[in-house]
């Protein structure tokens, strides 16, 4: 499997996000299925796994830790702090004392002495970014984490953070239908030597072509039901883009999902595609994007077909948008 540099690590360019196995996308799979999926990813060459204290309010870290602990030396393990579950509710808290405590809790759940890449999950607007990153720097000094990352932040925040401690990676949503990182974050990462980890590279299943009717295919507790792009009128407009996407996939000799992943990986040698799934069949399909190189003409046609001007609907609801620090078109 193709490997790329992320700070001091060499890791698979196709990266598994483990959130779906415990959190946010309807009913999680049973424990046996989740364990089998993690092992299948590992056996298939994935060695970069992403979790967070928030996911399943800790249960996802426990799952990942128990399954992957025997293979700890083979993998790059990423987790996140700064957004956790408190009394059953999501709370953003970037205070240094909270970050330090969250890391200790995560280390216990993961069953490891050190986390390779530790992200600030969300910027806490009540706490200067320098203070939050200062706590992460302390964790590096203590040997509890190896590298510092940020999630869903602006270029300005990245630069302020990087002045406090080198930022190894920035994670943000990025796909054909979410282009916000192109405003400034991708270039900032290249300039500072940071990796860019693109989450939801399949547009939360839209670009797979398999989600045709969110009103019937998504469970009530699926987070996509609260996202404007998945509302009936907006999604009907977005579905019109899929025919062209599917046609280009057929021309390329791949599936729509593989085409979308290959597009993300083509954005730069420092870019990783972080996808999640509850299905082993979908995992196998996504990993089929490994080594797929798109001709420049195909990339150009994809750019023209699906972009911030052709997609209908906002990325997040107004309430959730207040939690995000990224630049907006």
What is the residue-wise DSSP string for 79-122? EEESEEEETTEEEE---HHHHHHHHHHHHHHHT-S-EEEEEE-S
Find the catalytic residue in 55, 119, 174, 235: 55
Residue 119's nearest CA partner among 91, 89, 146 is 146
235 noted as active-site residue: no
Residue 71 sits at φ, ψ, to 5 deg, of -115, 20
Residue pair 305/247 in contact by the 8 Å Cβ criterion: no
CA 124 to chain centroid: 19
Residue pair 33/41 in contact by the 8 Å Cβ criterion: no
CA 34 to chain centroid: 18
Q: What share of the chain is helix, strand, coil (3-state, %, to 5)?
A: 45, 20, 35
59-68 helix and 31-43 helix, angle to the nearest 10 degrees: 50
Count the alpha carbons within 13 Å of 250 in the hemisphere toward its beta carbon: 7
Residue pair 18/46 in contact by the 8 Å Cβ criterion: no
Structure tokens at 184: 């400034």
Q: How far apart are CA 112 and CA 179, in angstroms?
A: 35
3-state secondary structure of 93: coil
3-state secondary structure of 81: strand
Residue 300's nearest CA partner among 128, 176, 202, 164 is 176
**What is the Cα Rg of the chain in Å?**
19
Residue 309, H or E segment:
none
Active-site residue numbers?
55
């Amino acid at each position: 499997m193709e490997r790329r540099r992320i700070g001091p690590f060499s890791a698979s360019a196709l990266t598994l996000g483990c959130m779906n196995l415990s959190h946010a996308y309807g009913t999680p799979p049973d424990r046996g299925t989740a364990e089998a999926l993690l092992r299948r990813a590992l056996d298939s060459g994935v060695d970069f796994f992403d979790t967070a204290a928030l996911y399943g309010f800790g249960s996802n870290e426990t799952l990942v830790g128990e399954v992957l602990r025997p293979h700890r030396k083979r993998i790059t393990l990423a987790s996140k702090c700064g957004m956790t579950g408190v009394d059953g509710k999501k709370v953003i808290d970037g205070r240094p004392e909270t970050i330090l405590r969250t890391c200790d809790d995560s280390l216990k759940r993961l069953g490891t002495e050190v986390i390779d890449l530790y992200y600030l999950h969300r910027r806490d607007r009540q706490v200067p970014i320098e203070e939050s990153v200062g706590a992460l720097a302390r964790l590096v000094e203590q040997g509890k984490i190896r590298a510092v990352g940020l999630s869903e932040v602006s270029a300005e925040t990245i630069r302020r953070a990087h002045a406090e401690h080198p930022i190894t990676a920035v994670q943000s949503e990025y796909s054909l239908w979410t282009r916000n990182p192109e405003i400034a974050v991708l270039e900032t990462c290249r300039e500072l030597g940071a990796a860019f980890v693109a989450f939801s590279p399949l547009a939360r299943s839209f670009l797979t072509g398999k989600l045709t009717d969110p009103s019937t295919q998504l469970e009530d507790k699926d987070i996509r039901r609260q996202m404007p792009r998945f509302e009936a009128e907006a999604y009907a407009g977005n579905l019109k883009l899929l025919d062209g996407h599917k046609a280009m996939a057929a021309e390329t000799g791949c599936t729509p999902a593989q085409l979308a992943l290959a597009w993300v990986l083509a954005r730069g040698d420092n870019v990783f595609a972080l996808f999640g799934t509850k299905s082993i069949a979908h995992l196998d399909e996504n990993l089929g994007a490994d080594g797929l190189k798109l001709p420049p003409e195909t990339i150009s046609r994809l750019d023209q077909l699906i972009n911030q001007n052709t997609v209908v609907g906002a990325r997040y609801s107004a309430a959730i948008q207040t939690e995000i620090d990224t630049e907006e078109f």
